[in-house]
Structure 1
């Protein structure tokens, strides 16, 4: 795990964080003790003690047999606290509501975290079945409208991308760096990104970076089913999203003494 300059990492803390992140990534697939010990290269006895401590604290849960482990309810409580304490998430929510109602489409707010985008808020359309995006979901930035809007805010040489081939979520996801860079050049020229079935088959996304940070770390997007996307509707989506971005970007700065989180 990355360390702050001049600060030695605490091994037990790093191990705990790595375990929680591993369990969170598994979603609804519980893990056995041996799997977790092997994945993190930790002695079985040490992993068992760590798991039991976290079970007692509510960060990890186990099944009735005591042999399967998953993420615990304390993780949800902490994640909810993160969203509730973030002034930018709170400020953006009503404007996402308004844009979703105006367009009849699903809107998202996401934040860049390394090479991924994490969904912080979602407003589902009432016009069609929900998408698979949910708050807390992590998706590779190169495969999403949110992510491409944020990657385009950075020089090509500073992009937080894994080595090729890039992960493919659908048959239309960019898996070559050269193809992605060509797409990002278009994003910079247009001022917004377009995800044409690169994250979810049948869904087109339009992403807009929120430039209250430099480079931007947050973005909003609108997801539209291909069957609903006419040229006229696309133009309206872009117009409403541009207006929504401008409104969110001009929201009042925090009061003196209020933390401005990075």
Structure 2
């Protein structure tokens, strides 16, 4: 129960959230700046220091391109060496971390967790038939990705037969501003929110990446009007990509894309890919309850 001394505005936001998500707790991102230590205390959820440190360690290893030494992990987490070692040993015993030549990396349990997360993801299940049909009919690579801050994370891909494609492993991250998947999702947000989430400098991924904020804003406005995003060689040279946001309430956080090589493709095929993605968005929108903050595809 929300206490009497809880700020009125936060109480109102939480009440709206409960009504919007009657099946359970809303995501923290929905509550925005109304989320604070006060809300955590009132809901009975407090950060457990040891668990928080263990997760920080796993997140560090997830982002590491190679196995790390005890010294590197200790310096990265900025916690005592003895505590770091105890965490690593505990996680190793449970199978979450592997140790070889005094270097640590993710273990088999981490891989199993990732696979299970994908298998149980409701959006993966909800969009699977649509994505499989796009892949089979268009004979192009189809991706599903999720927005995570200023990046998109690839969740699942169906590759095209006999077609070159970008690296499609689950967990791959790309700047949202540099790919059609990300732009399709950023276009469902207000510019002020997008601007705040993006890094100060839009670093180029390729020579064709848009790095100008005014140009990006203009493109996102056009994407919002069109209902789909397109990029050409902005993250992978030789490839172009079309994408649509997966309709959802209160707003989309997943997107579906179709990527294909630039050479030997007729404009009619580009138009077909675009139209099929728009049709997919309309089909997926049919099972979504409308919400004031959701922009339906045109």
Q: Normalization by structure 2: what TM-score?
A: 0.78
| CA distance in 2 between partners of 1:211 and 1:248 (Å) | 6
- Alignment-derived partner of residue 174 in structure 1: 210
Q: Is the 8 A contact 2:118 2:124 kept in 1?
A: yes
CA contact (8 A) 1:109 1:219 kept: yes
Residue in 1 that maps onto 2:249? 213
| CA separation of 1:15 and 1:177: change in aligned 2, threshold 3 A | farther
1:89 to 99, 119, 124: 124
Aligned to 1:153: 188
Separation (CA, whole Å) in 2 of partners of 1:136 and 1:3? 29
1:203 pairs with 2:239: yes
> Equivalents in 2 of 1:86, 1:229: separation in Å?
34
CA distance in 2, matches of 1:3, 1:122: 36
Task: State the distance in 2 between where 1:167 and 1:9 align.
Answer: 34
Give the superposition deviation at 1:88.
2.2
Flag the 1:9–1:68 CA change in 2: closer, same or farther, 3 A: same
1:112-168 Cα distance to aligned partner (Å, 9 max, x none): 122221212211000313421222222221111111000000000111523321232
Work out whether 1:162 is the aligned partner of 2:216.
Answer: no
Tell me how far apart the structure 1 counterparts of residues 36 and 60 of structure 2 sit (CA, whole Å): 19
- Measured against aligned partners, the alpha-carbon deviations of 1:155-186 in whole angstroms (never above 9, x if no partner) come to 00111523321232212222232222122112
> Does the CA-based 8 Å contact 1:120-1:136 persist in structure 2?
yes
Give the ranges of 4+ consecutive aligned residues of structure 1 lying more than 6 Å apart after TM superposition. Answer: none
Give unpaired runs (5+ residues) of structure 2: 1-34, 290-298
In structure 2, the residue matched to 1:260 is none
Report the aligned-residue RMSD: 1.9
Mapped contact 1:164–1:177 kept (Cα < 8 A)? no
- Determine if contact 2:246/2:253 at 8 Å carries over to the other structure: yes
Partner of 2:268: 232
SS across alignment from 1:6: helix
The structure 2 residue matched to 1:133, chosen from 155, 161, 168, is 168
Q: Determine which of 94, 99, 103 is the counterpart of 1:57.
A: 94
Partners of 1:134 and 1:83 lie apart in 2 by 12
Q: Distance in 1 between matches of 2:215 and 2:54?
A: 38
**How many residues are paired up?**
249
- Indicate conservation of the 8 Å contact 2:165/2:259, yes or no: no
Q: Distance in 2 between matches of 1:246 and 1:49?
A: 52
Match of 1:21 in 2: 59
> Which protein has the larger Cα radius of gyration, Structure 1 or Structure 2?
2
Provide TM-score, normalisation by structure 1.
Answer: 0.88
- Residues 200-248 of structure 1: CA distance to partner in whole angstroms, max 9, x if unpaired? 1111111101122232111111101111433211101101111222223
Aligned partner of 2:50 in structure 1 is 12
After superposition, give the CA deviation of every residue in 1:48-98 in whole Å (9 maximum; x if it has no partner): 1111111111111111x3x11111111111122212222321121122111
Equivalent pair of 1:3/1:9 in contact (CA under 8 Å):
no
Query: Residue 111 of structure 1 contacts residue 118 of structure 1 at CA under 8 Å; is this kept in 2?
Result: yes
The answer as to 2:75 corresponding to 1:38 is yes
What's 1:241 paired with? 277
